[in-house]
Amino acid sequence: MKYYGDLRSFITALDEMGDIMHVQREVDGDFEPSAITRRSYEIQSPAPLFHKVAGVAPGFRLFGAPAALSSRSDMPYARVAMSLGLAPESSGPEIIEALSAARFKPGIPPVRVESAQAECQQNILRGDAANLDRFPIPFAHDKDGGRYANTWGTLIVKTPDGKWVNWSIARVMKVDGKRMVGLIVPSQHIGQIWTQWVARGEPMPYALVQGPAPAISCVSGIPIPAHADEADYIGTLAGEPVPVVKAISLDLDVPATAEIVIEGHVSIERDCQEGPYGEYGGYLGEGSSAQPTFHVETITHRDDPIWPMSITGRPTDESHTLWAMGLAADALTYLREAELPIKTTWIPEDSTVHWLLVVMPENWRELLPGISSEELTQRIGEVLFKTDAMVFIPKVYVVDDDFDPTNLREVVWALSTRVHPVGRRAVFDDQRVIRLPQCYDEAEYVAGKGAKVVFDTLQTKRHLHASFAQGYPEEVRQRILDNWPE
């Protein structure tokens, strides 16, 4: 296992395993980088690194699909695993266990370095020179409301009293060279902090960090408890402190090895239209909403900086790998804290974060004596739907552990044959609903409430599978394997 302390060493490692596609020809500055990245997701190709982008200075680069499925079929989650300092061959459940386990370990606080030691401040742009137009920011999709300046960067903000520093990912659209507009959801952590600045009548300082150490991007995009420090949690995953440096113009610390840091203040009003944007559910966006303006005041960057991007849409992109794993790890943590003997949790990539599988061990009835599967299903829903992260998940399936939850073919087989047409489910009405999940009616979006469901697919008796593994004597199977192919 190896932790990558900056984006460049991570890209080099991926390149060495054949998982980088070097695009050396010049690409346009509008749609071509995004379209290539989107196709790379859909055919599971190496991650594209764009070396020449029209309209920007030589040396400025774009990097697509940083945490998507790997092109290596023998290690599909390698980009996520390596980002977190895990072995590239780690399975999905192993990554989820690591994310959950780190929440119970002491955090390792970041360490501040001097500006001269911080690669992110090799170049400092102030005033009119601090302009987004100099960077290769493409349109993500052709129906979007503008160029999206943030799809995989980390937003750093803190409460006015300085007690809570939050690192997160939220989509931010470029308005012009000196302004951006970001989607700030009141229930999310950045929304809670922005609300405190609004109450004070002061614009919120922010730093938007592009291309930090991959673990920073990953942790910024997954749920951890409110008021927890992402920097400390990343230090735990890395086994070493994150080096940070004081921002040039703000009282915020930023990752020292980042590629680009944008500094400024966020308006206290929702004074600019944001969107539409093609989101993780797999559909092009429609409509826009009033959101706060992010004013650009100072920009710092490394020499020949790399701007990473996630082009969300149909599976499989970072929303369906890293973010889904983070949500599953959050669910696993809360269920185990409720003393339920969960084997693992998993969100199939192709469900676009609309399904959660809760996997029970074969002996769960022995571990929960006197509890029926109906009662277990109800309890699982009661625990999960109280958590913030589950606002995104409308459907939960409680399943046995006799199939591989990460194999979509097996998931479809198991759910198709075990979900009862009308019964064996716990319905939870009047749950929190936001517009990002695609399955609700307009009236439910307006009301902010709708139903969620937990399906009980647990077998009263384990049935043997009509399969090679379970349908033949062991000596026959071994003889066939020894002579395969004939």
Break the chain down into helix, strand, coil percent, rounded to 5. Answer: 30, 25, 45
Distance of CA 353 to the CA centre of its chain: 10
Report the candidate in 429, 452, 453, 433 with the shortest Cα–Cα distance to residue 443: 433
Of the listed 279, 286, 410, 486, which one is catalytic?
Answer: 279
The number of CA neighbours under 13 Å toward the Cβ of 287 is 4
Q: 283: number of CA atoms within 13 Å, CB side?
A: 9
Measured between alpha carbons, how far is 193 from 17 in angstroms, rounded to an integer? 41
Q: Which two tokens stand for residue 259?
A: 């590629």
Judged by DSSP in three states, 352 sits in coil
User: Are residues 121 and 114 in contact, defined by beta-carbon separation less than 8 angstroms?
Assistant: no
Between CA 35 and CA 274 the distance in angstroms is 22
Q: Which two tokens stand for residue 429?
A: 């009405």
Query: Which ranges constitute the DSSP H helices of 67-148?
Result: 78-83, 92-102
Which H, E and C letters describe 391-406, residue by residue? Answer: HHCCEEEEEECCCCCC
Q: How far apart are CA 82 and CA 4, in angstroms?
A: 8
Beta pairing partners, 266: 204, 294
CA–CA gap between residue 177 and residue 157 (Å, rounded): 21
- Cα–Cα distances (Å) from 36 to 184, 228, 370, 425, in that order, read 29, 37, 55, 42
User: DSSP secondary-structure letter at 50?
Assistant: E
Spatial contact of 222 and 166, defined as CB atoms under 8 Å apart? no
Active site residue 26: no
- Residue 438 CA, chain-centre distance (Å), reads 18
> Which residues have a catalytic role annotated?
279
